[in-house]
Protein backbone atom coordinates (compact mmCIF):
# COMPACT_ATOMS: atom_id res chain seq x y z
CA UNK A 1 0.00 0.00 0.00
CA UNK A 2 3.04 2.32 0.15
CA UNK A 3 2.72 3.00 -3.57
CA UNK A 4 -0.87 4.20 -3.20
CA UNK A 5 -4.19 2.45 -3.59
CA UNK A 6 -4.52 3.09 -7.34
CA UNK A 7 -1.23 1.46 -8.36
CA UNK A 8 -1.70 -1.51 -6.04
CA UNK A 9 -5.29 -2.04 -7.21
CA UNK A 10 -4.18 -1.92 -10.86
CA UNK A 11 -1.44 -4.48 -10.26
CA UNK A 12 -3.82 -6.82 -8.42
CA UNK A 13 -6.37 -6.46 -11.22
CA UNK A 14 -3.81 -7.42 -13.87
CA UNK A 15 -2.71 -10.52 -11.98
CA UNK A 16 -6.32 -11.54 -11.32
CA UNK A 17 -7.19 -11.15 -15.02
CA UNK A 18 -4.15 -13.18 -16.10
CA UNK A 19 -5.05 -16.05 -13.78
CA UNK A 20 -8.77 -15.96 -14.60
CA UNK A 21 -8.32 -15.80 -18.37
CA UNK A 22 -5.79 -18.63 -18.13
CA UNK A 23 -8.39 -20.79 -16.36
CA UNK A 24 -11.04 -19.88 -18.96
CA UNK A 25 -8.65 -20.84 -21.78
CA UNK A 26 -8.10 -24.26 -20.19
CA UNK A 27 -11.88 -24.75 -19.94
CA UNK A 28 -12.16 -24.25 -23.70
CA UNK A 29 -9.52 -26.85 -24.59
CA UNK A 30 -12.11 -29.70 -24.63
CA UNK A 31 -14.25 -27.73 -27.11
CA UNK A 32 -11.29 -27.23 -29.45
CA UNK A 33 -10.42 -30.90 -29.20
CA UNK A 34 -14.00 -31.90 -30.09
CA UNK A 35 -13.86 -29.64 -33.15
CA UNK A 36 -10.51 -31.18 -34.09
CA UNK A 37 -11.92 -34.72 -34.07
CA UNK A 38 -14.47 -33.82 -36.77
CA UNK A 39 -13.78 -34.57 -40.42
CA UNK A 40 -15.42 -31.67 -42.20
CA UNK A 41 -12.18 -30.29 -43.68
CA UNK A 42 -10.04 -33.41 -43.88
CA UNK A 43 -10.66 -33.69 -47.62
CA UNK A 44 -8.70 -30.45 -48.11
CA UNK A 45 -4.93 -30.25 -48.25
CA UNK A 46 -2.98 -29.51 -45.09
CA UNK A 47 -2.18 -26.01 -46.33
CA UNK A 48 -5.82 -25.28 -47.20
CA UNK A 49 -7.04 -26.59 -43.83
CA UNK A 50 -5.10 -24.02 -41.82
CA UNK A 51 -6.76 -23.40 -38.46
CA UNK A 52 -10.20 -24.34 -39.77
CA UNK A 53 -9.88 -27.83 -38.27
CA UNK A 54 -10.12 -26.21 -34.81
CA UNK A 55 -13.45 -24.54 -35.65
CA UNK A 56 -17.09 -25.61 -35.45
CA UNK A 57 -17.25 -26.15 -39.22
CA UNK A 58 -14.92 -29.15 -38.94
CA UNK A 59 -17.77 -31.15 -37.38
CA UNK A 60 -19.36 -31.24 -40.82
CA UNK A 61 -22.70 -30.04 -42.15
CA UNK A 62 -25.10 -30.63 -45.04
CA UNK A 63 -23.82 -29.12 -48.26
CA UNK A 64 -24.33 -28.99 -52.02
CA UNK A 65 -21.69 -30.55 -54.26
CA UNK A 66 -21.14 -30.45 -58.01
CA UNK A 67 -19.23 -32.91 -60.17
CA UNK A 68 -18.27 -32.14 -63.78
CA UNK A 69 -16.38 -34.00 -66.43
CA UNK A 70 -16.09 -33.83 -70.26
CA UNK A 71 -18.30 -36.30 -72.13
CA UNK A 72 -15.23 -37.77 -73.79
CA UNK A 73 -13.95 -39.20 -70.49
CA UNK A 74 -17.11 -41.25 -69.98
CA UNK A 75 -16.81 -41.55 -66.20
CA UNK A 76 -17.92 -39.17 -63.46
CA UNK A 77 -17.11 -39.44 -59.74
CA UNK A 78 -19.65 -38.41 -57.07
CA UNK A 79 -18.44 -38.27 -53.47
CA UNK A 80 -19.15 -36.49 -50.19
CA UNK A 81 -16.32 -35.26 -47.95
CA UNK A 82 -18.57 -36.17 -45.00
CA UNK A 83 -22.00 -37.74 -44.77
CA UNK A 84 -23.66 -39.47 -47.71
CA UNK A 85 -25.35 -38.46 -50.96
CA UNK A 86 -28.80 -37.17 -50.02
CA UNK A 87 -30.49 -36.36 -53.33
CA UNK A 88 -29.83 -35.57 -56.98
CA UNK A 89 -30.71 -31.91 -57.39
CA UNK A 90 -29.91 -31.36 -61.06
CA UNK A 91 -27.95 -32.81 -63.97
CA UNK A 92 -27.30 -31.83 -67.57
CA UNK A 93 -24.76 -30.94 -70.25
CA UNK A 94 -23.06 -27.61 -70.98
CA UNK A 95 -22.74 -27.13 -74.75
CA UNK A 96 -19.57 -25.27 -75.65
CA UNK A 97 -21.11 -24.27 -79.00
CA UNK A 98 -23.86 -22.29 -77.23
CA UNK A 99 -21.39 -20.04 -75.38
CA UNK A 100 -22.38 -21.69 -72.10
CA UNK A 101 -19.86 -21.47 -69.28
CA UNK A 102 -18.42 -24.92 -68.55
CA UNK A 103 -18.66 -24.17 -64.82
CA UNK A 104 -22.48 -24.07 -64.83
CA UNK A 105 -23.91 -26.66 -62.47
CA UNK A 106 -27.65 -26.04 -62.89
CA UNK A 107 -30.12 -26.00 -65.74
CA UNK A 108 -30.73 -22.56 -67.26
CA UNK A 109 -32.17 -21.28 -70.53
CA UNK A 110 -28.67 -21.35 -72.01
CA UNK A 111 -28.10 -25.08 -71.48
CA UNK A 112 -31.65 -26.44 -71.20
CA UNK A 113 -31.58 -27.73 -74.81
CA UNK A 114 -28.92 -30.32 -73.89
CA UNK A 115 -30.66 -31.76 -70.83
CA UNK A 116 -30.53 -35.62 -71.05
CA UNK A 117 -33.93 -37.06 -72.00
CA UNK A 118 -33.27 -40.74 -71.21
CA UNK A 119 -35.31 -41.58 -68.02
CA UNK A 120 -32.91 -44.41 -67.21
CA UNK A 121 -30.23 -41.78 -66.45
CA UNK A 122 -32.33 -40.33 -63.61
CA UNK A 123 -33.04 -43.83 -62.25
CA UNK A 124 -29.36 -44.72 -62.35
CA UNK A 125 -28.43 -41.52 -60.55
CA UNK A 126 -31.08 -42.07 -57.86
CA UNK A 127 -29.44 -45.43 -57.03
CA UNK A 128 -26.40 -43.51 -55.74
CA UNK A 129 -28.41 -41.90 -52.93
CA UNK A 130 -27.18 -43.03 -49.52
CA UNK A 131 -23.64 -43.82 -50.67
CA UNK A 132 -20.51 -41.94 -49.66
CA UNK A 133 -18.85 -42.23 -53.06
CA UNK A 134 -19.89 -43.65 -56.43
CA UNK A 135 -18.40 -43.71 -59.93
CA UNK A 136 -20.87 -43.27 -62.81
CA UNK A 137 -19.96 -44.52 -66.28
CA UNK A 138 -21.89 -43.27 -69.30
CA UNK A 139 -21.89 -43.17 -73.07
CA UNK A 140 -22.85 -40.02 -74.92
CA UNK A 141 -25.38 -41.80 -77.18
CA UNK A 142 -27.27 -43.16 -74.12
CA UNK A 143 -27.94 -39.76 -72.55
CA UNK A 144 -30.63 -38.79 -75.07
CA UNK A 145 -33.46 -40.82 -76.56
CA UNK A 146 -32.98 -38.94 -79.82
CA UNK A 147 -29.36 -38.49 -80.91
CA UNK A 148 -28.17 -34.91 -80.60
CA UNK A 149 -24.73 -34.49 -82.23
CA UNK A 150 -24.28 -30.92 -81.00
CA UNK A 151 -24.90 -31.86 -77.35
CA UNK A 152 -22.85 -35.09 -77.65
CA UNK A 153 -19.69 -33.13 -78.43
CA UNK A 154 -16.78 -34.79 -76.62
CA UNK A 155 -15.70 -31.39 -75.21
CA UNK A 156 -19.05 -30.67 -73.54
CA UNK A 157 -19.15 -30.98 -69.78
CA UNK A 158 -21.57 -33.31 -68.01
CA UNK A 159 -22.56 -31.94 -64.60
CA UNK A 160 -24.42 -33.39 -61.63
CA UNK A 161 -25.49 -31.31 -58.67
CA UNK A 162 -26.26 -33.30 -55.53
CA UNK A 163 -26.58 -32.81 -51.77
CA UNK A 164 -24.45 -34.34 -49.03
CA UNK A 165 -26.25 -35.02 -45.75
CA UNK A 166 -25.39 -36.66 -42.45
CA UNK A 167 -27.12 -39.82 -41.37
CA UNK A 168 -28.90 -40.10 -38.01
CA UNK A 169 -25.91 -41.69 -36.28
CA UNK A 170 -23.60 -38.88 -37.39
CA UNK A 171 -26.15 -36.25 -36.39
CA UNK A 172 -26.55 -37.80 -32.93
CA UNK A 173 -22.78 -37.88 -32.40
CA UNK A 174 -22.62 -34.24 -33.47
CA UNK A 175 -25.48 -33.40 -31.07
CA UNK A 176 -23.64 -35.00 -28.13
CA UNK A 177 -20.42 -33.19 -29.03
CA UNK A 178 -22.16 -29.83 -29.23
CA UNK A 179 -23.90 -30.45 -25.89
CA UNK A 180 -20.48 -30.90 -24.29
CA UNK A 181 -19.23 -27.71 -25.97
CA UNK A 182 -22.28 -25.76 -24.73
CA UNK A 183 -21.74 -27.15 -21.22
CA UNK A 184 -18.16 -25.87 -21.10
CA UNK A 185 -19.27 -22.57 -22.65
CA UNK A 186 -21.93 -22.08 -19.97
CA UNK A 187 -19.43 -22.97 -17.26
CA UNK A 188 -17.00 -20.42 -18.69
CA UNK A 189 -19.64 -17.67 -18.66
CA UNK A 190 -20.71 -18.50 -15.11
CA UNK A 191 -17.14 -18.45 -13.80
CA UNK A 192 -16.46 -15.16 -15.56
CA UNK A 193 -19.54 -13.54 -13.99
CA UNK A 194 -18.58 -14.86 -10.55
CA UNK A 195 -15.06 -13.53 -11.11
CA UNK A 196 -16.40 -10.05 -11.90
CA UNK A 197 -18.53 -10.06 -8.74
CA UNK A 198 -15.59 -11.25 -6.64
CA UNK A 199 -13.37 -8.59 -8.21
CA UNK A 200 -15.89 -5.88 -7.34
CA UNK A 201 -16.34 -6.85 -3.70
CA UNK A 202 -12.63 -7.54 -3.28
CA UNK A 203 -11.92 -4.02 -4.52
CA UNK A 204 -14.40 -2.53 -2.06
CA UNK A 205 -12.80 -4.43 0.84
CA UNK A 206 -9.26 -3.46 -0.23
CA UNK A 207 -10.25 0.17 -0.53
CA UNK A 208 -11.79 0.11 2.97
CA UNK A 209 -8.65 -1.54 4.40
CA UNK A 210 -6.43 1.02 2.71
CA UNK A 211 -8.58 3.89 3.98
CA UNK A 212 -8.39 2.53 7.55
CA UNK A 213 -4.64 2.01 7.43
CA UNK A 214 -3.71 5.42 6.01
CA UNK A 215 -4.27 9.00 7.11
CA UNK A 216 -5.59 11.37 4.47
CA UNK A 217 -7.13 14.82 4.34
CA UNK A 218 -10.60 13.27 4.13
CA UNK A 219 -10.16 11.92 7.68
CA UNK A 220 -10.21 15.53 8.96
CA UNK A 221 -12.74 16.97 6.52
CA UNK A 222 -16.49 17.30 6.43
CA UNK A 223 -18.28 17.53 3.11
CA UNK A 224 -21.28 19.86 3.08
CA UNK A 225 -23.35 19.45 -0.06
CA UNK A 226 -24.85 22.72 -1.28
CA UNK A 227 -27.86 22.53 -3.56
CA UNK A 228 -27.98 24.80 -6.58
CA UNK A 229 -31.25 26.34 -5.41
CA UNK A 230 -29.78 27.20 -1.98
CA UNK A 231 -26.66 28.73 -3.56
CA UNK A 232 -28.73 30.95 -5.85
CA UNK A 233 -30.84 32.11 -2.91
CA UNK A 234 -27.71 32.99 -0.88
CA UNK A 235 -26.19 34.76 -3.88
CA UNK A 236 -29.28 36.90 -4.50
CA UNK A 237 -30.25 37.68 -0.91
CA UNK A 238 -26.92 37.73 0.92
CA UNK A 239 -23.93 38.17 -1.35
CA UNK A 240 -25.29 40.95 -3.58
CA UNK A 241 -26.33 42.95 -0.48
CA UNK A 242 -23.03 42.50 1.35
CA UNK A 243 -19.79 44.45 1.43
CA UNK A 244 -18.00 41.60 -0.30
CA UNK A 245 -19.88 42.29 -3.51
CA UNK A 246 -19.03 45.98 -3.31
CA UNK A 247 -15.35 45.16 -2.67
CA UNK A 248 -15.28 42.66 -5.60
CA UNK A 249 -14.64 39.69 -3.32
CA UNK A 250 -15.15 36.43 -5.17
CA UNK A 251 -18.47 34.70 -4.33
CA UNK A 252 -16.55 31.54 -3.38
CA UNK A 253 -14.50 33.33 -0.73
CA UNK A 254 -17.55 35.19 0.50
CA UNK A 255 -19.50 31.95 0.81
CA UNK A 256 -16.61 30.36 2.74
CA UNK A 257 -16.54 33.26 5.20
CA UNK A 258 -20.32 33.15 5.52
CA UNK A 259 -20.30 29.42 6.35
CA UNK A 260 -17.50 29.88 8.93
CA UNK A 261 -19.52 32.53 10.73
CA UNK A 262 -22.61 30.36 10.72
CA UNK A 263 -20.66 27.36 12.06
CA UNK A 264 -19.11 29.46 14.85
CA UNK A 265 -22.53 30.81 15.84
CA UNK A 266 -23.93 27.29 15.87
CA UNK A 267 -21.08 25.93 17.97
CA UNK A 268 -21.45 28.86 20.38
CA UNK A 269 -25.14 28.03 20.84
CA UNK A 270 -24.27 24.39 21.48
CA UNK A 271 -21.66 25.41 24.05
CA UNK A 272 -24.12 27.64 25.90
CA UNK A 273 -26.71 24.91 25.88
CA UNK A 274 -24.20 22.47 27.40
CA UNK A 275 -23.41 24.96 30.15
CA UNK A 276 -27.08 25.36 30.97
CA UNK A 277 -27.51 21.60 31.18
CA UNK A 278 -24.56 21.31 33.59
CA UNK A 279 -22.23 19.48 31.24
CA UNK A 280 -18.99 18.20 32.72
CA UNK A 281 -16.45 21.05 32.99
CA UNK A 282 -13.60 19.11 31.39
CA UNK A 283 -15.65 18.16 28.35
CA UNK A 284 -16.96 21.72 28.05
CA UNK A 285 -13.43 23.12 28.25
CA UNK A 286 -12.22 20.68 25.59
CA UNK A 287 -15.09 21.68 23.32
CA UNK A 288 -14.26 25.38 23.70
CA UNK A 289 -10.61 24.69 22.84
CA UNK A 290 -11.66 22.79 19.71
CA UNK A 291 -13.94 25.69 18.76
CA UNK A 292 -11.10 28.13 19.23
CA UNK A 293 -8.74 26.07 17.07
CA UNK A 294 -11.40 25.65 14.39
CA UNK A 295 -12.10 29.37 14.35
CA UNK A 296 -8.38 30.20 14.17
CA UNK A 297 -7.78 27.71 11.36
CA UNK A 298 -10.79 28.91 9.41
CA UNK A 299 -9.79 32.54 9.57
CA UNK A 300 -6.19 31.77 8.63
CA UNK A 301 -7.41 29.96 5.55
CA UNK A 302 -9.34 33.06 4.54
CA UNK A 303 -6.21 35.19 4.42
Q: What is the pLDDT of residues 15-35, one digit of tens each?
A: 999 999 999 999 999 998 888
Query: What pLDDT, on the 0 to 100 scale, is given for residue 190?
Result: 95
Do residues 253 and 239 touch, judged by C-beta distance below 8 A? Answer: no
Query: What pLDDT, on the 0 to 100 scale, is given for residue 17?
Result: 92
For the chain, the average pLDDT equals 81
Q: Quick one: average pLDDT of 100-106? A: 83
The residues near 162 (Cβ < 8 Å, ≥ 6 apart) are 64, 65, 66, 67, 78, 85, 86, 87, 88, 89, 128
For the chain, list the domains and their CATH numbers. 1-59+178-221 (no CATH), 62-165 (2.60.120.740), 228-302 (no CATH)
Query: What pLDDT, on the 0 to 100 scale, is given for residue 127?
Result: 86
Give the Cα separation of 38 and 58 in Å (integer): 5
Instruction: Give the range with max mean pLDDT: 14-23, 112-121, 147-156, 282-291.
Output: 14-23
Give the Cα separation of 280 and 14 in Å (integer): 55
Compute and round to an integer the Cα radius of gyration of the chain.
44
The residues near 123 (Cβ < 8 Å, ≥ 6 apart) are none
Helices (H), the chain: 5-27, 29-36, 46-49, 119-126, 168-213, 228-234, 243-246, 251-276, 281-302
Query: What pLDDT, on the 0 to 100 scale, is given for residue 3?
Result: 65
Q: Quick one: average pLDDT of 170-179? A: 86
Give, as one character, the DSSP assignment of residue 231.
H
pTM confidence score: 0.52
Amino acid sequence: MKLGYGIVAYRNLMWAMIIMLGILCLLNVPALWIYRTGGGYFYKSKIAQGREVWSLGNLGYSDMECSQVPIGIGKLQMSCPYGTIGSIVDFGVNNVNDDVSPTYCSTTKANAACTPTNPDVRVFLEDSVGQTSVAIEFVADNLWLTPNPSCANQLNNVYIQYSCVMNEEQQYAKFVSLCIVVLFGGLTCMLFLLFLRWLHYKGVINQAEWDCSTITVSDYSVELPIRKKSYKKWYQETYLNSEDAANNVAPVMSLKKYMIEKLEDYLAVVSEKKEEEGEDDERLTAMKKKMARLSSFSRESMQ
